[in-house]
Amino acid sequence: MKSLTRKRVLITGGAGFLGSNLADRMIAAGHDVLVADNFFTGTKDNILHLLDNPHFELIRHNITFPLYVEVDEIFNLACPASPIHYQFDPVQTTKTSVHGAINMLGLAKRVKAKILQASTSEVYGDPEVHPQVESYWGRVNCTGIRSCYDEGKRCAETLFFDYWRQYKLRIKVIRIFNTYGPRMHPNDGRVVSNFIVQALQNQDITLYGSGNQTRSFCYCDDLIEGMIRMMDSEDDFIGPVNIGNPGEFTIRELAEKVIAMTGSKSKIVYQPLPQDDPKQRRPDISLAKEKLDWQPTINLDEGLKRTIAYFDQLLTQRNSN
Ligand SMILES: NC(=O)c1ccc[n+]([C@@H]2O[C@H](COP(=O)([O-])OP(=O)(O)OC[C@H]3O[C@@H](n4cnc5c(N)ncnc54)[C@H](O)[C@@H]3O)[C@@H](O)[C@H]2O)c1
């Protein structure tokens, strides 16, 4: 028996950066949280503080295999998100997105749960439309080194929509744009964590290409708020909906900001642009504003301040061990 307001929530990938931040929010809101994670990129450290909570449960599980649990809502976040990690075992990456989606959709169908897919701006590939709107179909290479992630996520979206059409499943699809914040993996090569970790150690900051390529950066608390609003929205709004921060910065601007905010002695060094790296990225969030009454509230300076404080503490702890 469950209370009227307490939901049983499954978060796949809940030991990762976004999943663990979401788990905190759901526990704070009074729900029962079950995290399923195979710890490929996630870590127990991210959820250590929740392990003694009687409303929190953790299972080591790879979502490419079926899972049988009774839940009301499923947030499907399991999937390595950084190029270094998703290119480490590309076949497994596609399996996680595709087999994982099939297993989680099958579970949702069996227990009549609502299910949200953490999709990505990468479904737009290297876009010809700027900023990116949800109606844009994207420009994705299906045979390149990023394809395991991009095409895996695209196929997962297809599966979600087919389960909705075929079985009337209650689905929600969000397309997440670059998000950063505390609990990012310090060595996964994502641009914000990379720059901060390099700057805090006074190491050279590596810029790929000219540094003129743009990205928009969303602070994790804003992103999680958007994700929860999407899950709680009316059943007839299924997405896909962009969730991200439309503030656009060049990668060089970001590097300079991080150097200034950390007071670092780091120098900027340039390396060739990796294959299929998108040149610009910015979400059009009109749909999220209209349907979810959502927009980011934390600007880049404030978000960077909090993230720098997190990595500073992490590196200090590591150095003292
Ligand atoms: N952070 C971003 O900027 C961003 C942008 C777009 C999309 N997303 C999506 O959001 C989700 C979470 O991303 P994140 O940034 O927290 O990444 P992350 O790597 O920190 O978290 C992913 C989690 O999934 C787990 N995982 C991976 N494969 C699994 C499997 N087969 N079975 C069970 N667990 C598995 C990992 O161990 C990790 O805990 C991902 O699906 C990612 O594609 C993130």
Give the atom of ligand 1 at the shortest distance from the alpha carbon of 64. 31
Q: What are phi and psi of 12, to 5 degrees?
A: -80, 140
> What pTM was computed for the model?
0.96
pLDDT of residue 319: 83
Can you give the pLDDT at residue 309? 98
Q: Separation of 1 CA from ligand 1 center, angstroms?
A: 31
Using CA atoms, how far residue 188 sits from 43, 68, 174, 294, in Å, is 13, 31, 23, 29
| Mutation probe of ligand 1 site: the residue of 11, 12, 18 with most atoms within 8 A of C-beta | 18
Instruction: Look at residue 1 in the predicted model and tell me its pLDDT.
Output: 41
pLDDT at 138: 96
Would you give per-residue pLDDT tens digits along the chain (321 residues)? Answer: 445 589 999 999 999 999 999 999 999 999 999 999 999 999 999 999 999 999 999 999 999 999 999 999 999 999 999 999 999 999 999 999 999 999 999 999 999 999 999 999 999 998 999 999 999 999 999 999 999 999 999 999 999 999 999 999 999 999 999 999 999 999 888 899 999 999 999 999 989 888 998 899 999 999 999 999 999 999 999 999 999 999 999 999 999 999 999 999 999 999 998 877 778 889 999 999 999 999 999 999 999 999 999 999 999 988 887
Beta bridge partners, 34, equal 10, 57
- 149 has catalytic annotation: yes
Residue 60 CA to ligand 1 centre (angstroms): 15
| CA dist., res. 140 & res. 109, Å (int) | 30
Measure 166 CA to ligand 1 centroid, in angstroms: 27
pLDDT given for residue 173 in this prediction: 99
**14 Cα–ligand 1 center, Å:** 8
Measured CA to CA in angstroms, residue 310 lies from 181, 197, 223, 265, 313 at distances of: 8, 10, 18, 20, 5
- Ligand 1 pocket, residues with Cβ under 6 angstroms: 12-13, 15-19, 37-42, 62-64, 77-81, 96, 100, 118, 120, 176, 178-179, 185
Q: Exposed/middle/buried for 276, CB within 10 Å: 0-12, 13-18, 19+?
A: middle
Q: What is the pLDDT of residue 63?
A: 98
Return the pLDDT at 278.
75
Structure tokens of 7? 């939901």
Please name the residue whose Cα sits nearest to atom 35 of ligand 1.
78
- Angle of CA points 313, 319, 321, to nearest 5°: 105
Cα 1 from Cα 190, distance rounded (Å): 43
